[in-house]
Amino acid sequence: MTPFHFTKHYETPAKAAAAAHHYGWLATHAKPLRQPALIVIGPASLTFEHIDGRHAQKKDLLSLAALLGDAHGAAWTSGLDAAQLDIPHELREGSLLAAFRSCREVALRNRLEKGFLPDTAALHAMLTLLERSADGPAAFYKDSNPRNFLITENGTVFSVDTDDLTLAPFGYDLAKLITTLIMTHGPIDPPDIEAALNSYNHAAARHDAQLGATSRERLGDFLALHAVLTAPYAGRHGYRYGWLHQRQQTQGIS
- C-alpha closest to that of 64 among 196, 245, 232, 234: 196
Domain ranges for the chain, please list them: 52-249
What percentage of residues in the chain have a pLDDT greater than 70? Answer: 93
Instruction: Give me the sign of the Cα torsion angle 45, 30, 90, 105.
Output: positive
pLDDT at 251 over 80: no
Burial 68-107 (b: 16+ CB within 10 A, else e): bbbbbbbbbeeebeebebeebbebebebbbbbbbeebeee
pLDDT tens-digit map of 26-35: 999 999 999 9
- Please report how many Cα atoms fall inside a 13 Å half-sphere around the Cα of residue 126, on the Cβ side: 25
Under 8 Å CB-to-CB from 31, ≥6 apart: which residues?
71, 74
- Which pLDDT belongs to residue 16? 92
Q: Between the CA atoms of 213, 83, 30 and 208, what dihedral angle is there, to the nearest 10 degrees?
A: -40
Give the N- to C-terminal CA distance of the chain in Å, as an integer.
45
Give 247's pLDDT tier (boundaries 50, 70, 90): low
Strands 149-151 and 38-41: unpaired
pLDDT tens-digit map of 224-235: 999 999 999 988
pLDDT tens-digit map of 83-103: 999 999 998 766 789 999 999
pLDDT tens-digit map of 112-150: 999 999 999 999 999 999 999 999 999 999 999 999 999
Average pLDDT, the chain: 92
pLDDT at 252 over 60: no
Cα 228 from chain centre: 15
Fold of 52-249: Aminoglycoside 3'-phosphotransferase; Chain: A, domain 2 (3.90.1200)
User: What residue spans of the chain are helical by DSSP H?
Assistant: 13-29, 61-77, 100-113, 120-133, 172-185, 190-205, 216-229, 243-249
